[in-house]
Amino acid sequence: MPPQIDVRLDRVTKRFHEVVAVDDLSLEIQRGEFFSMLGPSGCGKTTTLRMIGGFEEPSEGAIYLGETDVTGLPPFKRDVNTVFQNYALFPHLTVFENVAFGLRRRKVATDQIASEVTAMLELVELPGYEARKPSQLSGGQQQRVALARALINHPRVLLLDEPLGALDLKLRKQMQLELKRIQTEVGITFIYVTHDQEEAMTMSDRIAVMRAGRIEQLGNPEELYERPTTPFVAGFLGVSNLLEGEVAGHDGALVSIRLRDGTVLRAPADGVAASGPVRVGVRPEKLRVEAGEAGPSDGLNALAGVVLDASYIGVSTQYVIQTADGHRLTVYAQNLDTAGASEAMAGGQRVHLTWKPQHTFVISGPAEHVAGDPHLPEEGETDV
């Protein structure tokens, strides 16, 4: 059975005067999914969400909820509810009336409203707060009321725009788990906007990484982290080391890539072109750093280099290593066997780095020399 599609954006573009906020974006979100949109400030996350909610109309393209084209329908005619960034609770109404607002507009019977509000406040762990005004609640409690107010309508889709942005780190972590629990419990599709990559990774089933109004890459957290297809995604989800090279040949499931200085590295061959310029990437925690020259490599990738900088940060030591052809690589070495800063390798020390070919990812296309954001026609870019 193919997954049921809850929300579909079909080539949606949104322009504000000359600013293109969302650029020819297509997207399908599945029923019951926790879907995140992640990207830097101004990349069009809020605008996309507001178009799904009906607060903005697309300049071009269409939006579907299930099978229905809802483009042009006002918010109150869409089976979608929103948790706003600053909650937007009604200050003159009690918690009860805030949560009951949607049900009252839909003329639900009074006694049913009472029991549903009670149940909903229980779900968000605020029983007994019915009579309070929003101004008498803490930030985290207001957040829960906003969630209850939206969820009580059992929408097809819940939209959340940086709902935890105003909370401090500890409360944020707690609410992340809570949100995930509630989403699992009610089984409603969540579309979640954030610019915090860790938050997106923790909660999401799938993430769309956005940049300049487009989706740069879409996939589950592991795919995005382990196999980014663009340098932007590689850099946005944590630190990555990228080395320029050329495809030298395929070897079963692996592909060989020759760097400028002649070193050959190997990586999974999935989706890599048969030839041409590429970049090879590896995450800092996947690298093992050892003093001296490289020995026999056991099928591992190996690179020689010199320590430029070492900083001891307790759980790990962070090295910056310069390779023979001038690339700088960051390495996080777990302090498994070392007993302190004195045992870290010093600057100037000759070392070699090793890592598994499976931990390597390949980004097609030549290096991007312009700082700016021309959209790269990446191969294998997901545009589901």
Partner 1 sequence: MPRTRRRLTPYLLLLPGTAWLVLFFAVPMGYMLVMSLQQGSLSEGYHLTWNWGIYPDIAVKYGNLFLRSVSFALATTVLTLAIGYPMAYTIAFYGGRLKNALLLVVIMPFFVSFVIRTLNWRMVLSDNGLVFGTLKDAGLLDQSFRFLATPASVIFGLTYNFLPFMVLPLFVALEKIDRRMIEAAADLYASRAQAFWRITFQLSLPGVVAGSLLTFIPAVGDFINADIIGARSPDVAMIGNVIQRLFLNSNDFPAAAALGFVLVAGTMLLVGVYTRIVGTDRLTS
DSSP helix, strand, coil percent of the chain (3-state; round to 5): 25, 35, 40
DSSP string, 188-212: -EEEEEES-HHHHHHH-SEEEEEET
Can you tell me which of 3, 4, 19, 122 binds ligand ATP, judged by CB under 6 A? 19
| Whole-angstrom distance, CA of residue 235 vs CA of residue 218 | 15
> Per CB under 8 A, does 55 bind partner 1?
yes
> Per CB under 6 A, does 58 bind ligand ATP?
no
Q: Which stretch binds ligand ATP (CB under 6 A): 45-53, 181-189, 196-204, 330-338?
A: 45-53
Q: Which stretch binds partner 1 (CB under 8 A): 32-40, 85-93, 277-285, 341-349?
A: 85-93
> Per CB under 8 A, does 364 bind partner 1?
no
> Per CB under 6 A, does 195 bind ligand ATP?
yes
266 and 257 Cβ atoms separated by less than 8 Å: yes
Q: In sequence order, what are the beta bridge partners of 36?
A: 192, 207
Can you tell me which of 36, 48, 82, 143 binds partner 1, judged by CB under 8 A? 82
Task: Provide the token pair at 360.
Answer: 């390597």
Q: How far is the CB of 22 from partner 1 (least distance, A)?
A: 18
> Per CB under 8 A, does 262 bind partner 1?
no
Q: Which stretch binds partner 1 (CB under 8 A): 26-34, 52-60, 256-264, 287-295?
A: 52-60
Task: Provide the token pair at 281.
Answer: 């990437």
Can you tell me which of 42, 61, 66, 268 binds ligand ATP, judged by CB under 6 A? 42
Q: Give contact residues for Mg ion (rule: CB under 5 A).
A: 46
> How are strands ordered across the β-sheet holding 350-355?
288-291, 350-355, 301-312, 316-323, 328-334
Residues of this chain that interact with partner 1 (CB under 8 A) are 53-55, 74-76, 80-82, 84, 86, 88-92, 101-102, 105-106, 149-150, 153
